[in-house]
Amino acid sequence: MSDDLGFGIDIGGTGIKGAPVDLASGELADDRYRVDTPQPSTPAAVAEVVHQVLEKFGWQSAFGCTFPAVVQHGVVRTAANVSREWIDTDIAALLGEASGHDVAAVNDADAAGIAEAHFGAARDKSGLVVVTTLGTGIGSALILDGLLVPNTELGHLVIDGEDAETRASAVARETEDLAWEDWAVRLSRYYSYVESLLWPDLFVVGGGVSKKPDRWLPYVECRTPIVAAQLRNSAGIIGAALVASSHHT
């Protein structure tokens, strides 16, 4: 392990996970620690859990954190799948004051995109890569020649009159008990629509479903090459740690 350690915390709707990250290799430097997201997930309650995660590792320095919403210069702007109390909360300042350390806050899918661009499926890819995360919602990250264009919200494209994530997220598949092939029909519609607008060079698909891509990926039809993300559940933590470090420009 190198001495070049960072720390990332991935704040999600159901779990808050953190770990130290080896910034040279992009690997977690210790087992990640997970705490259920408090319900209601108010800013104060989440800040308390973030404190617990830092304490667990004795981390006493700058860190990065993800949030499942638009995060503009440290300030949360939307709240599709979290408490609306977050809107206009300066999450970087809140967690910075609570911990006494500098905090870099970033949208969850953007963090995953940055991690995949550095260490995963989008590594060394030139041109436009669209990284999507399929979970409770659909998150997106646009990476152009390795650089992130932040806060794209391609999960909320309205396709066939519906918010795309309500049809094609991983949770939509579970809630509606869809067969993988049937879900893949929705994914095909989604990715074909996105490609008609952006004409990317590559789609990278992350989220829990990236663990077993053989179940659904072969059924997805679109003209753009499409691959599963490589960093799985750790992409958010790794991306958050990168954003907080000098490794990310």
- Which helix (H) or strand (E) segment is 130 a member of? strand 128-134
CB of 98 to ligand BGC, least distance (A): 22
b/e per residue, 195-232, with b = 16+ CB within 10 A? beebebebbbbbbebbeeeeebbeebebebebbbbbbe
Cβ closest to ligand BGC, residue 26 vs residue 155: 155
AA identity, residue 190: Y
Using CB under 6 A as the criterion, which residues of the chain lie in contact with ligand BGC when the complex forms? 68-70, 78, 80-81, 107-109, 133, 135, 137, 139, 153, 155-156, 165
Residues ≥6 apart with Cβ < 8 Å to 154: 130, 132, 138, 140, 164, 194
Bridge partners of 130?
142, 203
CB of 142 to ligand BGC, least distance (A): 12
CB of 107 to ligand BGC, least distance (A): 5
CB of 3 to ligand BGC, least distance (A): 32
- Comparing CA positions, the residue from 161, 185, 189, 166 lying closest to residue 176 is 166
Cβ closest to ligand BGC, residue 89 vs residue 133: 133
Cβ closest to ligand BGC, residue 99 vs residue 107: 107
Residues ≥6 apart with Cβ < 8 Å to 203: 129, 130, 131, 132, 191, 194, 195, 222, 224, 225, 226, 227
CB of 148 to ligand BGC, least distance (A): 13
Cβ closest to ligand BGC, residue 69 vs residue 115: 69
Backbone torsions φ then ψ of 200, nearest 5 degrees: -75, 170
Cβ closest to ligand BGC, residue 59 vs residue 183: 183
CB of 7 to ligand BGC, least distance (A): 21
CB of 224 to ligand BGC, least distance (A): 20
Distance CA 131, CA 203 (A): 6
Distance CA 204, CA 120 (A): 10
Cβ closest to ligand BGC, residue 29 vs residue 210: 210
Cβ closest to ligand BGC, residue 56 vs residue 232: 232
> Residue 167 has which token pair?
């049809």
